[in-house]
Structure 1
Amino acid sequence: MTLSSDLLAAARRWAADPAAWPIQPQYDPDERWYARIAETAEHEVWLLTWLPGQETDWHDHGGSAGAFTVVSGALVERTVITTPRKRSAALHVSAGAPGGGRVRYMDLPAGSGRRFGTHHVHGVANRGEVPAISIHVYAPALRSMTRYRLVDGKLRVAEIERAGVSW
């Protein structure tokens, strides 16, 4: 079993047992709400809520692998198809999306999950009409996240956030 599949299994275990969550989900009308609900030597677990229309920008997880599962509602993940050898401050993408990049959308209804490696860049959104809840697991624990903008077909670094400062 790989690290990312272990992370998805952990996310599914946490999603299946809301009574074990040390905090109840909350909803913020201005932005998605999140709280870390567990941390072990191997990984950390986050609880997120999403009101209709709430979304993240393009971001990575600072070198952490991860997985998430949708507890209720539905989410959409968007990823940019990148050229792996060209990862740098500007990630090159292939033709097809705004600015020339190719964006892939994946619908994630309740019960579905997603795993990803250490170089994954994505955005997640609630495009539905009802609130959504998701559980996210990262290894190692998040220490930074890079935010990107898609400009002229390339993902450009917008900012780098740090644990303990930005969240």
Structure 2
Amino acid sequence: MTAVDLRLDHLAIAAQFAAAPEQWHVAPRFNPVSRWYERLHVADDHEVWLLTWLPGQGTDLHDHGGSAGAFHVFAGTLTEDTVTTPAGAAPHISGRELGEGAGRRFGSRHIHRITNRSSRPAVSIHVYGPALTTMTRYRLGGDGLEVLRVEKAGVQW
């Protein structure tokens, strides 16, 4: 069996944190107004975030400012909608549901949104490498993908 280099595998890092909730420095909290998040860990080449999602809560379309990453569903079910742009075609959104224990890796140019469309709260672990510095928010309209704003770490979140 080949060992996985956790420094290179964001999903393995997320799964490792999900396997040891007793080591989190904070317990998950739920906010009825918006999703709750807390950074659990930061290293030279990545950071780890704990997020909670009540039914109906989600993000808008966004990227991760050039960081690659992964997320692991610790509890509940989340839906990821991903923007894809086939050659010569307009961008469109395709969705996938991820249940407890499922995860997803993504590259540095990934644009998506995550939503809890279930009737139960959800908890997830997200890993970004390098650590987030910006996130761009988008809207998909008739003219394609439109940038709404760019947010900076430490300022807007």
- Tell me which interval the TM-score lies in, with the shorter structure as reference length: over 0.9
Aligned to 2:110: 120
Relative contact order (alpha carbons < 8 A, sep ≥ 6): 1 or 2 greater? 1
Separation in 2, partners of 1:157, 1:93: 19
Q: Aligned-residue CA RMSD in angstroms?
A: 1.9
Superposed displacement of residue 12, structure 1: 0.2
Do the aligned partners of 1:57 and 1:148 also contact (CA within 8 Å) in 2? yes
Superposed displacement of residue 5, structure 1: 6.2
Aligned to 1:58: 61
Do the aligned partners of 1:81 and 1:93 also contact (CA within 8 Å) in 2? no
Aligned to 1:72: 75
> Going by fraction, where is helix more abundant, 1 or 2?
1
Do the aligned partners of 2:46 and 2:129 also contact (CA within 8 Å) in 1? yes
Do the aligned partners of 1:4 and 1:67 also contact (CA within 8 Å) in 2? no
Over 3 Å counting, the alpha-carbon distance change for 1:147 and 1:3 in structure 2 is: farther
1:14 aligns to what SS in structure 2?
Answer: helix
- For structure 2, the residue ranges without an aligned partner over 5 or more in a row are none
Task: Calculate the TM-score normalised by the size of structure 2.
Answer: 0.92
- Give the AA of the match of 2:128: Y
- CA offset digits 1:5-59 (Å, max 9, x no partner): 6100000000111001111101110111001010011210000000000010000
Match of 1:49 among 48, 52, 68: 52
1:133 aligns to what SS in structure 2?
Answer: strand
Matches for 1:136-151 after TM superposition, within 5 Å: 136-151=126-141
Aligned to 1:19: 22
- For structure 1, the residue ranges without an aligned partner over 5 or more in a row are 85-91, 95-100
Aligned to 2:123: 133
Do the aligned partners of 1:93 and 1:154 also contact (CA within 8 Å) in 2? no
- Paired residues, number: 154
Alignment of 1:32 onto 2:21: no
- Give the AA of the match of 2:39: R
Do the aligned partners of 2:7 and 2:45 also contact (CA within 8 Å) in 1? no
- CA offset digits 1:121-150 (Å, max 9, x no partner): 000000000000000000000000000011
Do the aligned partners of 2:6 and 2:13 also contact (CA within 8 Å) in 1? no
2:131 aligns to what SS in structure 1?
Answer: coil
Separation in 2, partners of 1:93, 1:48: 34
Superposed displacement of residue 102, structure 1: 2.2
